[in-house]
Amino acid sequence: MQQSKHSPGFKNSLVPVLALVFLSPAFLSCGYVGPSNPGAYTSSTSSSSGSSGYSNPPTFSEINSQIIQPNCLVCHSSGTYTFTTYDTLIAGGVVKSGSPSTSTLYLDVSSGKMPQGGTPLSTTDVNAIDNWISAGALR
Ligand code: HEC
């Protein structure tokens, strides 16, 4: 009687031990993910085009080819808000040079209102428009 009771109890006690053995390497390796890339933020001070894909400040050519053409021209190729060229974009009144906070171009993409019904722009693209307008919205 004593022997037949002991055997299953011994088997059950192995379960948590095995679980610990299999889980502990995964747990330990997680602890080392954080400090593995200590220089991650140093590139933000770089002055010309870095990992963002834009110059600092971005050029209109970059804003046009990387943001407006792929995301906006499907709807903004005619009418009051025609974004096909620098001149028509500026003529639409949506860019106040030097002032992103009063430029509907910036306000609409940062709020997600534009592109209408589409995926909002990435933070990198929104920041590029912000920097382009801040720096004077140069041609
Ligand atoms: C699916 C169609 C569509 C897309 C894509 C789109 N827009 Fe618009 N957009 C509109 C419509 C419709 C209006 C309103 C036009 C009007 O009132 O005459 C508008 C108006 C605007 C205005 C004027 C201010 C306002 O909010 O009414 C801005 C600025 C603007 N869009 C920026 C953009 C930008 C930047 C993109 C690309 C990132 C974009 N839009 C993509 C449809 C679109």
CA of 14 to the centre of ligand 1 (A): 64
| Cβ contact 128:62 at 8 Å | yes
- Span 48-64, pLDDT tens digits: 555 679 999 999 999 99
Selected residue with higher pLDDT from 41 and 116: 116
- Amino acid found at 11: K
Considering the chain, what percentage of its residues have pLDDT values greater than 70? 63
108 lines ligand 1 (CB under 6 A): yes
Nearest-10 Cα torsion for 19, 21, 25, 26:
0
CB distance 125 to ligand 1 below 6 Å: no
> Which secondary-structure segment (H or E) carries 100?
none
The residues, any chain, with a CB within 8 Å of residue 139's CB and separated by 6 or more, are 60, 86
Q: pTM score > 0.75 for this model?
A: no
Q: pLDDT tens-digit profile of 72-89?
A: 999 999 999 999 999 999
Cα distance between residue 66 and residue 31, in whole Å: 38
Ligand 1 touching residue 74 (CB < 6 A): yes
Which candidate, 112, 109, 136, 101, places its Cα nearest to that of 125? 109
Predicted local distance difference test score (pLDDT) of residue 118: 97
Amino acid in the structure at residue 116: Q
Distance CA 50, CA 42 (A): 11
Give the Cα separation of 50 and 47 in Å (integer).
8
Q: What is the mean pLDDT of residues 10-25?
A: 47
